[in-house]
Amino acid sequence: MKTVVITGGAGFIGSHLCDYFLEKGYRVICVDNLITGKEVNISHLKKHPHFTYLNHDVSTPLHFDERIDYVLHFASLASPKAYQLYPIQTLKVGALGTHNTLGLAKKHQATYLLASTSEVYGDPLVHPQPETYWGNVNPIGVRGCYDESKRFAEALVMAYHRTHHLDTKIARIFNTYGPRMAIDDGRVVPAFLMQVIRGKPLTVYGDGSQTRSFCYIKDLTEGLHKLLLSSEHEPVNLGNPAEMTIKQFAEKILAITQSPSKIVFEELPLDDPKIRQPDITKAIKLLGWKPSVPVEEGLMETYDWFRAHAPSR
């Protein structure tokens, strides 16, 4: 039985990865200090014989005596609300956390996967965004702590690959949604769904013409697994290329949920990307992967989960 360490394993994506790898027959060690992760996301796994939870901040070193086969570094403060509240911790987990987890992988000669992000492209001047694009990032802006932490993490991963010949992977993850998203993290899917549940207007920033592409969590976990087992070492975009404006997305949520809520417009946040759409040509060619869950289906499942788990007030 192979063992996988998943940092940030009590978070949204991390907890789904814990589920996925246990179902695939792996032993899973979940590492999370719960700064944004939630223990309830993994509570159903606590009695699983092949699951272990460790409360630990990966910005400090971690060690395991048992053999480790894979290290997936997902510990991060990924929402604007979280990383603007904890900018130093965000930079530390991107820099020190990546360094420590790479050291763990090197010690065990484990395969390493970094959860990078579409935010490395910043407010892009190339559309859609291929992996060859270097990005348009404001390093000292309010989003810089997150964007630059991931850009540095990518550079460090490639340095370990080239210097120590470590088997490394880099996933550039675009907007992903699904059950277990934090209801209060400020991102568009939980924000809209909670406004619908509470009978409030949907808040669209700017004129709503900025675009996003939304990938359901089930599709993402499958893509991450394929990338982990591949021979590719340079970054690979994982996301849904079906682009829509935020206003269109708000209208789609209102239609799916049959909500009578209205749309209201507010000032656009600083450095908010105007466009975001992955070019997944590389993922299709190298991994044989592309999203398959229709956004209507994924949103309905997410909405049902929010109604069952989120407070109405």
Q: Classify residue 181 as left (phi > 0), alpha (psi -120 to 50) or beta.
A: beta
Question: Per the structure block, which two tokens stand in for 160?
Answer: 């370990």
Q: Dihedral sign for Cα 218, 34, 116, 154, please.
A: negative
With CA atoms as reference, report the closest residue to 142 among 122, 124, 127, 126.
122
Q: Are 193 and 303 in contact (CB under 8 A)?
A: yes
Give CA–CA dist 112/251, Å, rounded: 40
Measured CA to CA in angstroms, residue 304 lies from 36, 300, 308 at distances of 22, 6, 6
The answer to whether 133 is a known catalytic residue is no
Give the active site residue among 146, 160, 216, 303.
146
Contact 278, 128 (CB under 8 A): yes
Q: How far apart are CA 114 and CA 78, in angstroms?
A: 14
Within 198-258, residue ranges assigned H as helices are: 217-228, 246-257
Rounded to the nearest 10°, the torsion over CA 52, 54, 55, 57 is -140
Residue closest to 37 by CA, chosen among 7, 55, 12, 63: 12
Amino acid (one-letter) located at 292: S
Q: Are 42 and 55 in contact (CB under 8 A)?
A: no
Note whether 197 and 257 are within 8 A (CB): no
Separation CA 284–CA 293 (nearest Å): 16
CB 192 within 8 A of CB 137: no
List the catalytic residues. 146
